[in-house]
Amino acid sequence: MDAVKIGILYSTTGPYGAMGRESRDGAEFAFEELRDTHGDLIQPVYIDPHGNIPEYLDGARSMLRDCGYRHIVGTITSLARKEVIPLVEKHDGLLWYMCPYEGFEANENVIYTGACPNQHLIPLFDYLLPRYGKRPYLVGANYVWGWEMNRLSRELINEAGGEILGERYLPFEETAVERIIDDIEQRRPSFVLSNLIGPASYAFLKAFKELGDRDPAFKPERCPVVSCDLTECELGEVGPGVAAGQLSAASYFDSLNSAENLAFKARITRHFGAGRRISNFFASAYSAVKMCGEAILAAGTDDPQTVRRRLSGAPLSTVHGDIRIDAETNHAALPFHLGRITADNGFEIIASRPAIAADPYLTGRRRRSAPKLRIVS
């Protein structure tokens, strides 16, 4: 087999740069390990779109059309993913998307190794509602992730007989959160679901800490801020201790006590030195590159169809544990972990579930009888 190039498309600057840098680090680390074991057969090519949608398109086009790469690992936001997918389809490539997302997608040309709502939001609510109550306040980034997560939350809360006390949206870079905090203070929800991203999320967590300092009813143990995308890599931006006690769901935490993770962490320490704490973004990008590279090596070709068939065979051993990729949905089954942020910006895992098969269109959540659409008159 000739050397195969894999495109890496992450933004290391811009409002979600922290996630992009972490993802790129994870990808780089995986390529180094692949090189150590297989030489130069699998090579990375990095393009940084700087958080600009047109640059994602240019980057993906040059990888797929001009250079003929078949595999791209990348994109963080659903906006970028949706822009890149038509190009990947056109050139019959494979996009490896590894971020938690809002579901309602299952493309043949995409491998999804990030969690969708039945793997993050639904188990999160299963945990929260009996413990904190059914009257949450929803805040979110003003785009499809925030909108759709909050729409589904509303549906789940209505089904549970609860009530949504408020729903507010902020652009990634909006840090004026005072009015939302005032509203939350007045309405006194059971908990706050935050689907905010970037600087808006950091500002919100800071202001919420101050609210809790003023009024103990808003301390994390009584009214936590919970999220499905806040990870180790962003807590540094939030500030030490600011988010302590708040909760986050993820399929990986640095503090996971599994044999796979302890071995992985030992390699991380050898490479980055002690003290490097990694996040779900790092681990997922690492796993995606490893899965992609190893499947190509095992198949002896980077032909996307062949690679895809190989993926859905036996379970793949990753830092998330053994991962199975469903041949129908192209989604990975993933474990659910709930982490509580510690004073030193790590996560203490307080609840876990073994791997949950992805249900991107939530078809299995309610078994409904076939529709009654016959004309009655």
Partner 1 sequence: MKETPNFTGWRATILHRPEAATERLTRQLRLLGFRVTVQWAPLDAVVLPDVVLVDADQGWDELLPWNGADAPLPVVALLGSEAPGRIAWLMEQGSCTIISKPVTASAVYPALVMAVSIYKERQAVRSRLQLLEERVRLRPLVHAAVQKIMEARQLDEEQAYKILRARAMQKRLPMEQVAASIVGGAEPLPEAG
List the one residue from 71, 329, 332, 333 that touches partner 1 (CB under 8 A): 329
Q: How far is the CB of 119 from partner 1 (least distance, A)?
A: 16
Q: How far is the CB of 327 from partner 1 (least distance, A)?
A: 10
Q: Which residue has the tokens 């979600």?
A: 16
Q: Would you say 82 or 219 has its CB closer to partner 1? A: 82
Q: Give percent helix, percent strand, percent coil of the chain, each to the nearest 5.
A: 40, 20, 40
Three-class SS state of 374: coil
Q: How far is the CB of 4 from partner 1 (least distance, A)?
A: 25
Does 305 interact with partner 1 (rule: CB under 8 A)? no
List the one residue from 85, 98, 116, 292 that touches partner 1 (CB under 8 A): 85
Q: Which residue has the tokens 């030490």?
A: 240
The strand pair at 4-9 and 71-74 is best described as parallel
Does 89 interact with partner 1 (rule: CB under 8 A)? yes
Which range binds partner 1 by CB under 8 A, 16-24, 152-160, 175-183, 335-343? 152-160
- Sequence-ordered strand ranges (E) for the chain: 4-9, 42-47, 71-74, 94-97, 110-112, 137-141, 166-170, 192-195, 225-227, 247-250, 316-318, 321-323, 334-341, 347-356
Q: How far is the CB of 138 from partner 1 (least distance, A)?
A: 15
Which range binds partner 1 by CB under 8 A, 57-65, 82-90, 246-254, 294-302? 82-90
Q: Which residue has the tokens 């409904």?
A: 368
List the one residue from 87, 105, 130, 218 that touches partner 1 (CB under 8 A): 105
Q: How far is the CB of 159 from partner 1 (least distance, A)?
A: 9
Q: What secondary structure does DSSP assign to 86-155, as a single string?
A: HHHHHTT-EEEE-S--------TTEEE-S--TTTTHHHHHHHHHHHH-S--EEEEESSHHHHHHHHHHHH
Q: How far is the CB of 121 from partner 1 (least distance, A)?
A: 12
The residues binding partner 1 (CB under 8 A) are 82, 85-86, 89, 104-108, 151-152, 154-155, 158, 328-329, 360-371, 373-377
